[in-house]
Structure 1
Amino acid sequence: MLKSLVFDLMESIADFRRLFECHFIPLVKYAYTITKDKEQSKDIVQNFFADMWKDQKLRHINSFEAFAFHAIKNKSITWLRDNKKFVSVVPDSPVHESDPIHDSHFPKYLLESAILGLPDKCREVFVLSKQDGLTYEEIAETLNVSVKTVEKHISTGLQKLKEKLAPHKVLFLESVNKNL
């Protein structure tokens, strides 16, 4: 029985760590858009995750992304208010204050966290291709792998992103339409 409890705890620690690794950087970037303070943005996100771990709130959340994005926005604005830095740096409020998906930063956050959630090698190849603009041949040469391996990683990455972002398809379509 004790062995089972320890295994469950280890599994939840690993899951929590993966969640942290996938969302930390995008959430810090978002907090920075509000606070304009890099170190404070990191502290806000670290404290958010520490609170999540202590309170075990993850069991009761339907959409971690929406919850985290909204919480970081509120914590960042609170920090501005508490430090009397509440000036024009606060972004315009979304259409529905309680619904973070209407915030223009939310699609970018979702995409970044989904990319960070890819397996290591897959993420590395995907970033080299889609963000750095390298060709498959250049990536294969850089990583000392075959072009077929690069193609497989790109295909896997796109499939995993499609699965992860599928619940938010309408949101991405709306953000594309706004930019047209």
Structure 2
Amino acid sequence: MERIADFRKLFECHFIPLVKYSYTITKDKEQSKDIVQNFFANVWKDQRIDHIESFEVFAFHAIKNKSITYLRDTKRFVRVVPELPVNQNDPIHDQHFPKYLLESAILGLPDKCREVFILSKQDGLTYEEIAETLNVSVKTVEKHISTGLQKLKEKLAPHKVLFLESVNKNS
């Protein structure tokens, strides 16, 4: 990691989704925050991030392991987890991975674009309502949505098959 700004952006995009994922395992919000903060501290110290093929897969797998280790170390891990076949132990087969990818991609959008996108897609506001709320034109809202969708499409393209699989499982 050569620049602090790059690391900060990486942290901002992935911190909240990783905490949410850790929480699904630990059921402890503060501990989940600590786990993710320690993960990022180690990433910063090791400076080997440039050699990782997919940060998302690396981070998801690391947080899963660290969360399970926390449970084991605090003796809150009472049931024995069966050994999973090698292909099922891969983070991309975890049901939470697509949600994590989407959340981190949304958090990676430019500030105004992200704000408009969240108001539209998550809060369900119409373009007119968003324009009125942010005191911008409807055309500006349309441009931000279009830009957001394009950037998400680019960011998530390597995982297209994963999203299609998750849609088919839920059908």
Match of 1:28 in 2: 19
In 2: Cα distance, 1:57 partner to 1:177 partner = 36
In 1: Cα distance, 2:104 partner to 2:44 partner = 19
2:141 to 146, 150, 153: 150
What's the Cα RMSD here? 1.9
Residue 161 of structure 1 deviates from its aligned partner by 0.1
Residue 57 of structure 1 deviates from its aligned partner by 1.9
TM-score, length basis structure 2: 0.95
Residue 95 of structure 1 deviates from its aligned partner by 6.8
In 1: Cα distance, 2:85 partner to 2:109 partner = 29
Match of 2:168 in 1: 177
- Cα separation, partners in 2 of 1:175 and 1:54, compared to 1, 3 Å: same
Instruction: Note the alpha carbon deviations across 1:104-148, whole angstroms, 9 max, x for none.
Output: 000000000000000000000000000000000000000000000
2:92 to 84, 97, 101: 101
Match of 2:35 in 1: 44
Give the secondary-structure state (helix, strand or coil) at the position aligned to 1:87.
Answer: coil
In 2: Cα distance, 1:110 partner to 1:100 partner = 11
In 1: Cα distance, 2:15 partner to 2:27 partner = 17
The list of structure 1 runs, each at least 4 consecutive aligned residues, that deviate by more than 4 angstroms after superposition, is 92-95
In 1: Cα distance, 2:163 partner to 2:29 partner = 27
Give the secondary-structure state (helix, strand or coil) at the position aligned to 2:87.
Answer: coil
Instruction: Note the alpha carbon deviations across 1:21-77, whole angstroms, 9 max, x for none.
Output: 000000000000000000000000000000000011202100000000000000000
Matched letter for residue 149 of structure 1: T
Residue 64 (structure 1) aligned with residue 64 (structure 2): no
Residue 96 of structure 1 deviates from its aligned partner by 2.5
2:10 to 5, 9, 19: 19
Structure 1 unaligned regions, length at least 5: 1-7
Match of 2:70 in 1: 79
Match of 2:46 in 1: 55
- Cα separation, partners in 2 of 1:154 and 1:93, compared to 1, 3 Å: farther
Match of 1:120 in 2: 111
Does the 8 A contact of 1:66 with 1:101 survive in 2? Answer: yes
Instruction: Note the alpha carbon deviations across 1:88-113, whole angstroms, 9 max, x for none.
Output: 5x8x9687354100000000000000
- Cα separation, partners in 2 of 1:151 and 1:94, compared to 1, 3 Å: farther
TM-score, length basis structure 1: 0.90
Identical counterparts, % of pairs: 86
Q: Matched residue pairs, number?
A: 170
Matched letter for residue 123 of structure 1: R
Matched letter for residue 139 of structure 1: I
